Structure 1
């Protein structure tokens, strides 16, 4: 019979959303460690070991003290007080986020966010971005967790707003730490901005990180850029493309989009215009007019922008719907 597969402490920590230091502390204080370990070898966690850790995480996330949670997870007979506190905990816990099929890192990130464990969230985000790069990390780890928090918040009234705020802050900080590649000379930048009144900028920050990693010059203006400042920024930077993000229909200003698409910049006799790319669910599925494209996904959006920088006009930049940049 084949032995059960065993994982390292680091791999288990990432999947659970805790730090390796926390796992070592639990083992030292509460004897909740690998059931078997050979002398002279690193810890190796079997599925049974991991199941006990998952129970430990579920209980502590519900407010059960770690010592009592460890007794329950290890199968020891808990005291009356512990049994009463843990009795309402169901598998996965009522606070678990509805993630579906995602990478293990996504489940770990969700668990850490629900616990409001900011250091663990930061560590998991840093590892996901380093291991997978901004695109895969955003699409397969970060965005699914954000969507799950949003669904939980929508179904639980005012609860879990603090989880979304902490997670969003940590994601923004992690994306800002992605080191951009050196910018090539004489390549026009890509301008990124949220429309006036729009405060949801994380998908645009993911696009900025992915473009920067590829050495594409980016001018990022973030949330709620006033209309006049947006138009001035386009004239002053002469971007090859301007990406405008709108999360909701109440912030998507189509008149402003047409105005930006019509801006000319540069010296008289050598005037230029930028391609305008609309991103975010607020704009609806269709492009809005000539020289206005519609973006719908981070990975394909990078390809669209690469085409524009190469001097080719993809279908979305010519006013026709097609794939592109960051509705996730």
Structure 2
């Protein structure tokens, strides 16, 4: 029987602390050098050790920078111990992980990525909620959520199943934030757009973002989600008579052009006044020069919103 792991009474090394925070050791050393946030224990000739109080200061600094506070101000507030995060919010943080390269992005995106690597669910929920409320849905999706999701996807692709848990937790919280944004808006009457993933498409977070953005603008829609079977898609079009149908495909393998042509030809209404929908093909799966006749292909969320608003108004 393996004995339980006992925390090192000497404290954490800089490398172990960096893994716990989800930042690089270089970042920890830079903060120590620039802002005077350093370990209390400095034994000559040995690695520096970060005691629990030192770690708490760095955790608070990470939370503050994740919310857009500059590192200098975050360091001052964290050292003073008067930050807006109550002490009890520090409990339950899961340690471990490493850095998640996100490139040149907003501070809020870097904070979300750090929280995701730490599996810090409460912090992720807080960051997402504040960003949707303060930045608006489109900016929150394009500049915070999507870059973090792409970064964890790249990490998962290069390092295998080690990062699957990070992707799953982050995706769940992003989906919850998008659903929350959509549910806060009162429903509007009138013809509604039909949103659906292609029959074999399981990835629809971007479609969730579009639905939330439509709700934010008071535009009616019906969301059918992922993997809507072909016959069900055609029946939904006939039954609801949408002015616009947006079909999402994440990868080329799910982009069924023959089915799209059937949707384009689907009509409803009384004889002599039959109507057909405008079909929008969204997502990277539709890339390529050949586009089915009678369809539009918005390149991004903003373009899709503009087209749908014109069709629904």
TM-score (norm 2): 0.71
- Give me the whole-angstrom Cα distance separating, in 2, the residues matched to 1:227 and 1:122: 35
Partner of 1:324: none
- Give me the whole-angstrom Cα distance separating, in 2, the residues matched to 1:233 and 1:263: 10
1:90-109 equivalent positions in 2, closer than 5 A: 95-109=98-112
Contact 1:105 1:124 in 2 (8 A): yes
Partner of 2:123: 120
Partner of 1:294: 297
RMSD (Å) for aligned C-alpha atoms: 3.0
Contact 2:131 2:140 in 1 (8 A): yes
Could you say what secondary structure the match of 2:160 adopts?
coil
Note the alpha carbon deviations across 1:210-252, whole angstroms, 9 max, x for none: 0011111110000101111100111111111100011111111
- Give me the whole-angstrom Cα distance separating, in 2, the residues matched to 1:75 and 1:140: 34
Partner of 2:38: 74
Runs of 5+ unmatched residues, structure 2 = 1-13, 23-31, 51-61, 63-95
Partner of 1:224: 227
**CA, structure 1 residues 181+59, in 2 after alignment: closer, same or farther (shift >3 Å)?**
closer
Deviation, 1:76, is 2.6
- Give me the whole-angstrom Cα distance separating, in 2, the residues matched to 1:251 and 1:294: 16
Note the alpha carbon deviations across 1:31-77, whole angstroms, 9 max, x for none: xxxxxxxxxxxxxxxxxxxxxxx999624247xxxxxxxx9962333
**CA, structure 1 residues 245+76, in 2 after alignment: closer, same or farther (shift >3 Å)?**
same
The structure where helix makes up a greater share of residues is 2
- Give me the whole-angstrom Cα distance separating, in 2, the residues matched to 1:286 and 1:304: 20
Partner of 2:158: 155
- Give me the whole-angstrom Cα distance separating, in 2, the residues matched to 1:220 and 1:152: 30
Could you say what secondary structure the match of 2:296 adopts?
strand
Contact 2:20 2:97 in 1 (8 A): no
Deviation, 1:182, is 3.6
- Give me the whole-angstrom Cα distance separating, in 1, the residues matched to 2:176 and 2:97: 29
- Give me the whole-angstrom Cα distance separating, in 2, the residues matched to 1:94 and 1:169: 19
TM-score (norm 1): 0.68
Could you say what secondary structure the match of 2:161 adopts?
coil
Verify: 1:129 aligned to 2:127, yes or no: no
Question: How many residue pairs align between the two structures?
Answer: 244
Contact 1:180 1:209 in 2 (8 A): no
Could you say what secondary structure the match of 1:191 adopts?
strand
- Give me the whole-angstrom Cα distance separating, in 1, the residues matched to 2:172 and 2:105: 22
Partner of 1:191: 194
Verify: 1:165 aligned to 2:125, yes or no: no
Could you say what secondary structure the match of 2:195 adopts?
strand
**CA, structure 1 residues 83+57, in 2 after alignment: closer, same or farther (shift >3 Å)?**
closer
Deviation, 1:83, is 4.4
1:189-268 equivalent positions in 2, closer than 5 A: 189-268=192-271
Contact 1:180 1:215 in 2 (8 A): no
Could you say what secondary structure the match of 1:102 adopts?
coil
**CA, structure 1 residues 227+75, in 2 after alignment: closer, same or farther (shift >3 Å)?**
same
Deviation, 1:269, is 2.4
Deviation, 1:189, is 0.6
